[in-house]
Amino acid sequence: MIYVLLDGVGDLPHPDLDGKTPLEAAKTPTLDKIASNGVIGEVISVGKGIAPESDIAVFNMLGYKFEHEDYAGRGVIEAIGVGIDFKNGDLALRGNFSTLNEEEIITDRRAGRQIAKEDADGIAKELEEKVKFSDPDTRIVVVPTIGHRVTIRIRTSSQKLSSRITNTDPAYSNIGGMGVAKSGGDFLKIEKCLPLDDTESSKFTAKLVNEFSEQSIQIMKESEINKKRKEQNKKQLSCILLRD
């Protein structure tokens, strides 16, 4: 059996397409043939009114039903997938290299989307070497994956870190351990990470994430890699928008 899931292909109707969605307007003879020989239906993958991220939606389509905090989060899955050493008590988050303007407003969530591997790897190495946490036992690993994507792991020997924190990516909320898309808006800025409960672990974890975000913006701004990208008229790698 071949299982094909077209992630995000639905989209919305657009006036430039006479009120059709991009999929309706596109010429898709192969998909049309598959559909004509199959059964058409509709399924609510996660829950009514929820716009889930790809991971939890795909898991649900494959029959896995996670109950709120049972789900480890996509950050953990991506970290393990790219070979990052991960153990209980670590924090793993995924994110986007993004572009900010002088007012630190997000102008491109994906920094042009296509980022040369040497640029992404170079920035990641700088962040690992230059970010200094207030807790001297804390270390960070930054691993670029594909295009604008990046995964980070924060580890400290002083205590276990918590996933009960908010995202710094303003486009997604962390609801019950699940990433959910928020309604869009203009002039969005990277958000402050906040604890989702009153535990010392969550407060400490949020503090570390904010230290990383604040320092990384300055480090990336001063990077020789970004200076070269500017000369080449490429989008700046200004920050990393983090989410679980």
Based on the fold, state whether residues 29 and 93 are members of the same structural domain.
no
- Whether 188 and 143 map to the same domain: the answer is yes
Dihedral (CA of 89, 95, 51, 2) sign: negative
Domain that holds residue 196: 69-243
Q: How many whole angstroms separate alpha carbon 236 and alpha carbon 233? A: 9
Cα separation, 78 vs 89, in Å, equals 16
Q: Which residue has the tokens 């958000």?
A: 191
Residues 38 and 88 in one domain: no
Residue 61 belongs to a domain: no
Distance CA 105, CA 198 (A): 30
Residue 10 lies in a domain: yes
Q: Whole-angstrom Cα distance, residue 22 to residue 24? A: 6
* Helix (H/G/I), strand (E/B), else coil: 126: helix
55 inside domain = no
> CB within 8 A of 163, min separation 6: which ones?
73, 91, 177, 205, 244
Regarding whether 225 and 105 lie in a shared domain, the answer is: yes
* CA gap 160, 29 in Å, rounded: 53
Among candidate residues 15, 68, 28, 54, the one with its CA nearest the CA of residue 176: 68
47 is a domain residue? no
For 239, the token pair is: 């920050």
Contact 188, 105 (CB under 8 A): yes
pLDDT of residue 41: 83
Clarify whether residues 29 and 127 are in a common domain: no
Domain total for the chain?
A: 2
Contact 104, 218 (CB under 8 A): no
Contact present, 145 and 86 (Cβ < 8 Å):
no
| pLDDT at 6 (0 to 100) | 82
Global model pTM greater than 0.85: no
Whether residues 190 and 239 fall in one domain: yes
Give CA–CA dist 43/34, Å, rounded.
18
Antiparallel, parallel or unpaired: β 138-144 and 106-108: unpaired
Residue 155, in any domain of the structure: yes
Per-residue pLDDT in tens (0 to 9) along the chain, 244 residues: 777 788 778 788 999 999 999 999 999 999 899 889 988 888 887 778 777 777 788 888 888 877 656 777 888 989 999 999 999 999 999 999 999 999 999 999 999 999 999 999 999 999 999 999 999 999 999 999 999 999 999 999 989 999 999 999 998 877 666 667 776 666 689 999 999 999 999 999 999 999 999 999 999 999 999 999 999 999 999 999 999 8
| pLDDT computed for residue 186 by the predictor | 60
